[in-house]
């Protein structure tokens, strides 16, 4: 009997130390802000959310005074294998940087993203680096390197002749930023090949510039898009579309993609069709903002260039339509770890801070079919971050993520 009693006491002590109470000033749970809540983490799972009790106070406690605790950010549009274009142009990254170099950069980018509060990331194509994104995901999952949970697209699929690098005569074969295919037989093979090689979903370029300097035009025919989505769905996966023209967006929506990326030329009719079909929108505001600045735009003094003016107008139409808008900035075009730039522009262009926070947590988790992520609820994965102050009132608070926990493990804890 004494031995049994000793074992029960020992088990109780072990369970007690396996639990940690996070004690912030407030908790944003993915939907709403709550004052004076605590969150108890047991191993990798959220075990309790609510007001402090005698029981929660007995656990090992991490005080987060003056901070708001919230779900880890879910970045919806990223390129871990790219770095800012003002450092090296996209063409030169694809043509001159080896897959090995780009993978090493990707390791650094993944860690920088995690420490900036991004605990989950959807990578929208390796941009000429083959399946390096698949292996980044594998090494993160195996605990070899630190980084966010990844959802990866692999090479992505573009219509033959529609993607770059370009500008070479017909006798020169250059590496491309995506896998090219045409015709229903080829595109089905491309989808199946990419899924078989580890892609979690399929990215399709529904429109693009056929020549440098030209405006974008639709690429794939409707039947090609239809068959690609059917092939992905048959395999239990889904497809997303790069699309900026009304026609390209429409074809992709009707084919059954789950998200539209960019949508610069989207019309009210197009966004309403997206809402009707349950297609979410990822406007990638920060990419256009960054590229415009690389070209010499001074935001403080210069009028908006056409690219920014068009983006603001399409975003306003998206808001008017009521389409689901997610958080995804095309990070990689600008610095990994500065994901907050997209959040700040979403607010600048018309969303409220709390709408933007939802887009980066609960909304993205729902759109990406991520169970037990994006909210702070009992039984959910313990992917949690903290920022000073109240980000539901001031989105710039996300610039200073002071605490990062992923899967119950603390990766960052700055003392204040």
d(CA 132, CA 137): 9
Q: Where residue 382 falls among pLDDT bands split at 50, 70, 90? A: very high
Chain Cα centroid distance, residue 149: 10
Whether residue 198 contacts residue 134, with contact meaning beta carbons closer than 8 Å, is answered with yes
pLDDT of 1 over the 80 cut: no
d(CA 81, CA 344): 24
Q: Residues 293-327: pLDDT tens digits?
A: 999 999 999 999 999 999 999 999 999 999 999 99
d(CA 39, CA 16): 15
Domain with CATH 3.20.20.140 in the chain: 73-367
Domain with CATH 2.30.40.10 in the chain: 2-71+375-413
Q: Which fold has domain 73-367?
A: TIM Barrel (3.20.20)
pLDDT of 14 over the 50 cut: no
pLDDT at 6: 34
pLDDT of 11 over the 80 cut: no
d(CA 416, CA 292): 36
Q: Which fold has domain 2-71+375-413?
A: Urease, subunit C; domain 1 (2.30.40)
pLDDT of 116 over the 60 cut: yes
The strand pair at 60-71 and 19-28 is best described as parallel
Q: Within 13 Å and on the Cβ side, how many CA atoms surround 158?
A: 24
Whether residue 133 contacts residue 106, with contact meaning beta carbons closer than 8 Å, is answered with yes
pTM of the model: 0.94
Cα three-residue angle 98-104-109, rounded to 5 degrees: 120
Q: Which of 365, 367, 274 is nearest to 317 (CA)?
A: 274
pLDDT at 165: 94
Residue where the block lists tokens 């920088």: 112
Q: Alpha helix locations (H) across 66-164?
A: 90-96, 99-115, 132-141
Query: Helices 306-321 and 285-294 sit at what angle, rounded to 10 degrees?
Result: 170
Q: Is 83 left (phi over 0), alpha (psi -120 to 50) or beta?
A: beta
Q: By three-state DSSP, how is residue 290 classified?
A: helix
Q: Residues 33-73: pLDDT tens digits?
A: 999 999 999 999 999 999 988 788 788 999 999 999 999 99
Which helix (H) or strand (E) element contains residue 68? Answer: strand 60-71
DSSP string for residues in 341-377 = HHHHHHHHTT--HHHHHHIIIIIHHHHTT-TT-SS--
Phi then psi dihedrals of residue 360, to 5 deg: -85, -5
Q: In what order do the strands lie in the sheet with 179-181?
A: 179-181, 157-159, 202-205, 239-243, 259-262, 280-282
d(CA 25, CA 385): 13
Average pLDDT score over the chain: 94
pLDDT of 220 over the 80 cut: yes
């Amino acid at each position: 009997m004494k031995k049994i009693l000793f074992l029960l006491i020992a088990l109780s002590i072990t369970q007690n130390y396996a639990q940690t109470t996070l004690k912030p000033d407030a908790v944003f749970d993915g939907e709403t802000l709550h004052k004076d809540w605590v969150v108890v983490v047991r191993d990798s799972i959220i075990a309790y959310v609510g007001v402090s009790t005698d029981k929660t106070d007995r656990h090992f406690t991490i005080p987060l005074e003056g901070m708001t605790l919230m779900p880890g950010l879910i970045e919806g549009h990223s390129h871990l294998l790219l770095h800012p274009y003002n450092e090296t142009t996209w063409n030169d990254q694809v043509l001159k940087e080896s897959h090995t170099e780009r993978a090493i950069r990707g390791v650094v980018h993944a860690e920088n993203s995690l420490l900036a509060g991004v605990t989950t990331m959807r990578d929208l194509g390796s941009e000429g680096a083959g399946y390096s994104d698949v292996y980044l995901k594998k090494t993160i999952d195996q605990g070899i390197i630190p980084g966010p949970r990844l959802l990866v697209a692999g090479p992505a699929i573009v219509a033959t002749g529609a993607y770059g690098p370009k500008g070479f005569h017909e006798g020169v074969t250059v590496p491309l930023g995506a896998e090219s295919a045409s015709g229903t037989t080829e595109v089905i093979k491309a989808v199946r090949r990419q899924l078989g090689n580890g892609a979690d979903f399929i990215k399709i370029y529904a429109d693009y510039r056929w020549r440098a300097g030209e405006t974008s035009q639709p690429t794939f025919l409707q039947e090609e898009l239809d068959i690609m989505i059917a092939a992905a769905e048959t395999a239990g996966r889904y497809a997303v579309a790069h699309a900026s023209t009304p026609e390209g967006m429409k074809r992709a929506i009707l084919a059954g993609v789950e998200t539209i990326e960019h949508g610069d030329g989207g019309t009210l009719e197009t966004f309403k069709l997206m809402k009707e079909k349950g297609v979410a929108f990822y406007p990638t505001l920060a990419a256009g903002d960054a590229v415009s600045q690389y070209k010499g735009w001074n935001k403080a003094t210069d009028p908006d260039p056409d690219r920014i003016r068009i983006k603001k107008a399409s975003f306003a139409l998206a808001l008017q339509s009521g389409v689901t808008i997610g958080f995804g900035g095309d990070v990689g075009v600008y610095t990994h770890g500065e994901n907050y730039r997209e959040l700040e522009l979403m607010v600048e262009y018309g969303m409220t801070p709390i709408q933007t926070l939802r887009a980066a947590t609960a909304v993205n988790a729902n759109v990406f079919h991520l169970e037990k992520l994006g909210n702070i609820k009992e039984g959910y994965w313990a992917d949690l971050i903290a920022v000073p102050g109240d980000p539901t009132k001031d989105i710039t608070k996300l610039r200073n993520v002071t605490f990062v926990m992923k899967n119950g493990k603390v990766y960052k804890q700055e003392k204040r």
